[in-house]
Amino acid sequence: MRNAPLVLGLVTVSVTVLLAAILLGSTPLGLSAVINSLTGSGSPGDAVVLWEIRLPRALAAYVVGAVLGLSGAALQGLLRNPLAEPGILGVSATASLFATFTLYFGFSALSSLVLPLAAIAGALTATMFLALVAARINSVVTLILIGVGLSSFSGALMTLLMNLAPNPFSLSDMVNWMMGTVANRSFEDIAFAMPFLFVGAAMILLSGRDLSAFTLGEEAASGIGADLAKIRLKIVLGTGLCAGGAVAIAGTVGFVGIVAPHLVRPHVDHEPSATLVPSALLGGVILVLADIFIRLTPTTTELKLGVVAALVGAPVFVWIASQRMMGGNSYD
């Protein structure tokens, strides 16, 4: 496998940043304290900091980054465009909208399952819509523009809900959701999303070969024996489950799905199937690093992960887009 060295390197980096995320923070927790707590022989206070605050938070950031990186790489392979990503295409925004909807009407109070399920339903609705549109138009650029439109529309409906928020508490709930954060996440929050993420990631990872075929364009891909409709469905469902699960854990966090695959691609000969796993690992690393940065930044109000991701990711998006223009546009 051509990506083996990269994967190995990124696994090492992943372990390192996760460890760093556990060690660093406002309460000093030394390496020995961490090891003691992990093995169950540390002080009860350290154990609470580790097991209930830092570890779930670091893992949440990692898992969300990983599935977003994977979804981005998969959508880019399917649509043959490096700017495709759940955030850009409106999948994350629609997932957030559905989640916000349950907050607005108070459904989320009925059961802890309601909000994450709504997020996943929103993501699947958006990906299905995009798949239907994609089957009717031939231009990937148009599809991306439609995704941008969907994103704006979902965003507008979300703002409308906030506008109509009955009280400051539900407003602040919704704002938090929209900004995206992994603060105060518990293992249960992650565990609930895991089955969806697992199935979604499996669907994507099993389609690696098919994404390679899409490199030739849909007509030639069909010619070499790719079942286009089946592959589209697999990727759409896979990315819908992943993006929905990510929103269920952390709310809207954008741009990871663009940045991670973009950095990976040159190191795997631009081969779509080889891009998947490294993009997932790098996506996880990026969000854990971003979250460490947030926790160590001495602001009075903690920065939100989605805000930081967008602050870094949006300029990178513009940069990738302008590079393509200047490069003669040969890969449109």
Partner 1 sequence: MTELVVNKLGYVRGNKQILDEVSFSIGKGELVVLLGANGAGKSSVLKCALEPKARVKGSVYLNGQPLDTLSPANRARLVAYLPQSRPVAWPVKVFDVVSLGRYAYGVRLGQLKGRDLALVEAAIVDCQLQHLRDRRIDTLSGGEAARVHCARAFAANADVLLADEPTASLDPKHQLGIMKLIRDYVDGGRGALVVAHEANLAARFADRLIWIRNGRIVADGSVDETMTENMVAEVYGVSSEISRIRGYHNVSIVDAL
Distance of closest approach, residue 318 Cβ to partner 1, in angstroms: 21
CA distance 263 to 81: 14
List of long-range contacts for 8-17, beta carbons under 8 Å, 24+ apart = 10/278, 10/281, 10/282, 10/285, 11/281, 13/281, 13/285, 14/62, 14/281, 14/284, 14/285, 14/288, 17/285, 17/288, 17/289, 17/292
Q: Which helix (H) or strand (E) holds 286?
A: helix 272-296
Distance between CA atoms of 320 and 84, rounded to whole angstroms? 11
User: Nearer Cβ to partner 1, position 109 or 220?
Assistant: 220
Is 325 a binding residue for partner 1 by CB under 8 A? The answer is no
Q: Which stretch binds partner 1 (CB under 8 A): 26-34, 143-151, 207-215, 240-248?
A: 207-215
Q: What is the DSSP letter of 42?
A: S
> Hey, which residues between 215 and 274 contact partner 1 (CB under 8 A)?
215-217, 219-220, 222-228, 265, 269-274
Token pair, residue 130, equals 């995009």
Q: Which stretch binds partner 1 (CB under 8 A): 84-92, 117-125, 177-185, 208-216?
A: 208-216
Four-CA torsion 122, 128, 129, 132, nearest 10 degrees: 180
Closer CB to partner 1, residue 6 or residue 124? 6
Rg over CA atoms, the chain: 20
- CA angle 260/265/269 to nearest 5° reads 165
By rule CB under 8 A, what count of residues binds partner 1?
30
Q: 180 or 208, CB closer to partner 1?
A: 208
Residue pair 70/283 in contact (Cβ under 8 Å)? The answer is yes
- Applying CB under 8 A, does 132 fall inside the site for partner 1? no
Please identify, using beta-carbon distances, which residue of 186 and 215 lies nearer to partner 1.
Answer: 215
Shortest distance in whole angstroms from residue 241 CB to partner 1: 23
Give the nearer residue to partner 1 in terms of CB position, either 270 or 315.
Answer: 270
CB of 236 to partner 1, least distance (A): 18
Residues 41-100 that bind partner 1 (CB under 8 A): 80-81
Residue among 77 and 122 whose Cβ is closer to partner 1: 77
Task: Identify whether the C-beta of residue 294 lies closer than 8 Å to the C-beta of residue 305.
Answer: yes
Binding site for partner 1 (CB under 8 A): 1-2, 80-81, 208-209, 212-217, 219-220, 222-228, 265, 269-274, 330-331
